[in-house]
A and B are shown apart, each in its own frame.
Chain A
Amino acid sequence: AQSVTQLDSQVPVFEEAPVELRCNYSSSVSVYLFWYVQYPNQGLQLLLKYLSGSTLVESINGFEAEFNKSQTSFHLRKPSVHISDTAEYFCAVTWMDSSYKLIFGSGTRLLVRP
């Protein structure tokens, strides 16, 4: 069965430190990849996406993710985090043969400390 794995349930970091949130998915069949962010008491917002083209995608607030087909991964990175980045981050995957179904990972809570 298709699945998405976020191994880290919580990642504590200090402000201005770099961070990587890991995401792996189960199949190398063609995929579309997304990262969503959920700030406290809010809905989900799209952070960035990979549909095709360059394997490195960036968001407007400094996050980036790289699609690695051989490792079936789509890790999220930021070179220097801010307190305001504290949120829960969800990796989500749609497989091309899945009729639009979006499967989410279990989420990673990023906790940025001063």
Chain B
Amino acid sequence: DTEVTQTPKHLVMGMTNKKSLKCEQHMGHRAMYWYKQKAKKPPELMFVYSYEKLSINESVPSRFSPECPNSSLLNLHLHALQPEDSALYLCASSQGARSGGNTDTQYFGPGTRLTVL
């Protein structure tokens, strides 16, 4: 099973709402990632979790709050978002630097398309 699943596929929320994006993988990967992608732009790294610990935060605003409850799950909690946060949010996983060495391939989910009104 080389699949990364993301829910929901689409999400529309108001600026005062609180919502969560979910990501799941069952490949035994120990690194998980959140990316944000605007239309016609490349994905931009937001967060990296390694062995369930946050290892990289690319200066993301605090209205985005990641959580890794276990090695298979990754959440992104959203609160008080702005319209400019509307984008495709991609989750990815990889074996993890300790086990993958320098051949660590990331597997991406299909993304959640978020619209903030």
Chains A and B are bound partners: no
Which residues on B are within 8 Å of A, measured CB to CB? none
Which residues on A are within 8 Å of B, measured CB to CB? none
